[in-house]
Amino acid sequence: MGKIILETKNLSKKFGQRLAVNSVNLKVHKGDIFGFLGPNGAGKSTTIRMITGLVTPTSGRILFNNTLLDGKKHLFLRRYLGSLIEIPRFYEYLTAYENLELITQISGIKDKSTIDKALIQVGLYSRRNDRVRTFSQGMKQRLGIAQAIMGKPKLVILDEPTNGLDPEGINHIRRLILNLNKQKGITFMISSHILKEIESICNRVAILQEGKVLAQGRVVDLLNTPQEILTLEVSPVLKAINLLHSHPGVIKAVQNNNHLNQVKVFTRDLKPDLLNQYLVKNGIKVASLQKNNTSLEDFFLTLTRKKGELNCCGQY
């Protein structure tokens, strides 16, 4: 385990009477690809804006490399913290190189060779002299990451970096993050509402909901739970869900919005054949029943009992 590079302590933010972020405690270790996950509106972007100095916290502390970020220290330490907040904005009529050159001037980066190095690392060197208006959204995202890594940061924070990208663009960003982490040793903190997408690259995660951290830790530890997950195809489905929720061995049952006769069932110490017998005995037709591996989406579902909570985060 690397040393802690970023830590928040009881970080909170109020907008009027609304508490958007509620006593959030995060620990990002050196070398991590840290996933900051949760539904849209959970408070992820507000937390990231406080960490990057764009929003002032109502209360709490932020420590970077064990140094409190406040006032002038925040500005000084910003050179070691790269960020891409939501959709990157560039001057469309300028080239990729010219846009990054402007950023070096604003950021006080004197070594212009960092521009070409960053463009090489994100795979855009061959397009360095092309105007940004000719770039696809995926290429603009990669240019945004180039911007974030130019100052040789110790930590790069990416807020929803794959928003609006097609599958090919998502895969390109994923590979880029993994390569920069492995080859350059850059620590990443990535926010996303798509748990399945982040699970494949992150070693640690924190899951946020309604401004509070529900869980935090290594992905392998969070998924190492004694529960079993079953997928059932049943009818009538609503009656089946009610019956499942009344069974003492069932933690939760969730209908699949894409396959309305399919239900994901979270169980503990319950044999699948006994569950099948229970449903059939109570008038439910069970067309299929299969076991599943635990995913971050599944783990999230066990943390909340609110209907439809995960509709924005994945299939169920």
Q: Where are the domains of the chain?
A: 4-222, 225-303
Helices (H), the chain: 44-51, 71-77, 96-107, 113-121, 137-149, 167-184, 195-199, 219-222, 237-246, 272-281, 296-303
Tokens representing residue 269 in the block: 């110490």
pLDDT of res. 107? 80
- First and final CA of the chain: distance in angstroms? 33
**Given this structure, which CATH class describes domain 225-303?**
alpha beta
Positive or negative, the Cα torsion across 72, 45, 155, 65?
positive
Would you tell me which CATH number, out of the four given (3.30.160.250, 3.40.50.620, 3.40.50.300, 3.10.20.30), belongs to the domain 4-222?
A: 3.40.50.300
pLDDT in tens, 173-185: 899 999 999 998 9
No. of helices (H) and no. of strands (E), the chain: 11, 14
Look at the block and give the residue holding tokens 């396959």: 259
Phi and psi torsions of 76, nearest 5°: -65, -45
Show pLDDT as tens, one digit a residue, over the chain (316 residues): 679 999 999 999 999 999 999 999 999 999 999 999 988 889 999 999 999 888 999 999 999 988 888 766 666 666 788 999 878 889 999 999 999 999 998 888 888 899 999 999 999 999 999 999 999 999 999 999 999 998 888 999 999 888 878 888 888 889 999 999 999 899 999 998 877 777 889 999 999 989 999 889 998 887 776 677 899 999 999 999 999 999 988 888 888 877 889 998 988 778 899 999 999 999 999 999 998 777 777 777 766 544 333 333 333 3
Residue 130, class by beta-carbon neighbours within 10 Å (0-12 exposed, 13-18 middle, 19+ buried)? middle
Q: Which residues pair with 187 in a beta bridge?
A: 155
Backbone angles phi, psi at 154, to 5 degrees: -85, -25
Beta carbons within 10 angstroms of residue 204's beta carbon:
22
Return the HEC string of 217-247: EEHHHHCCCCCEEEEEEEECHHHHHHHHHHC
Degrees to nearest 5, angle at CA 140 with 158 and 93: 135
Q: Write down the pTM of the prediction.
A: 0.77
* pLDDT reported for residue 92: 96
Q: Measure CA 164 to chain center.
A: 15
d(C-alpha 145, C-alpha 118), whole Å: 8
Q: How many Å apart are CA 1 and CA 285, to the nearest integer?
A: 49
Query: Same CATH fold, 225-303 and 4-222?
Result: no
Query: Measured between alpha carbons, how far is residue 234 from residues 227, 228, 243, 259, 314 in Å?
Result: 21, 18, 12, 11, 21
Tell me how far apart the alpha carbons of residues 8 and 11 are, in angstroms, rounded to a whole number.
6
Q: Two tokens at 250?
A: 């069932």
Residue of 263, 261, 259, 258 lying closest to 235 (CA atoms): 261
Distance CA 299, CA 295 (A): 6
